[in-house]
């Protein structure tokens, strides 16, 4: 009957976040302050809270910026959105999409990252 789809064995959820600048005036402000927001201390704190940014790619200086985040089991999509808006909401309108964790589907095989919360 074909391949059976099975849920990926992971204690984590993954999200694609699209950050779009709230206004054109926020572009320079963000890039001037990015190092104050995204640094080793912040990343360590986020990890302890259950959030890991695996990838961040800007499509250009004016955005949008796309990120893939891993979120520890037990943290809801709503809680993750509140976290993202709390950190990045000053500059961005944030669109959060949970990524499929179904193995065997054509659009998702396996995350190219090792689960940090496994």
Helical pair 40-49 and 77-88, crossing angle rounded to 10 deg = 160
pLDDT digits (tens, 9 = 90+) for 39-90: 888 999 999 999 999 999 999 999 999 999 999 999 999 999 999 999 999 8
Two tokens, residue 82 = 């509140």
In this model, does residue 8 exceed pLDDT 80?
Answer: no
pLDDT above 90 for 34 = no
Domain boundaries, the chain: 14-103
Fold of 14-103: Alpha-Beta Plaits (3.30.70)
Checking if the pLDDT of 35 tops 50, the result is yes
Distance (Å, whole) CA 6 – CA 114: 19
């Amino acid at each position: 009957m074909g391949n059976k789809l099975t849920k990926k064995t992971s204690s984590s959820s993954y999200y694609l976040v699209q950050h779009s600048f709230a206004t054109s005036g926020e572009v320079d402000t963000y890039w001037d302050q990015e190092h104050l927001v995204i640094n080793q201390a912040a990343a360590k704190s986020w990890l302890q809270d259950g959030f890991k940014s695996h990838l961040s790619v800007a499509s250009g200086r004016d955005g949008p910026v796309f990120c893939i985040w891993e979120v520890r089991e037990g943290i809801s999509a709503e809680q993750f959105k509140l976290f993202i808006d709390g950190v990045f909401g000053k500059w961005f309108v944030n669109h959060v999409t949970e990524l499929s964790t179904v193995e065997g589907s054509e659009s998702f095989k396996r995350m190219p990252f090792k689960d940090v919360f496994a």
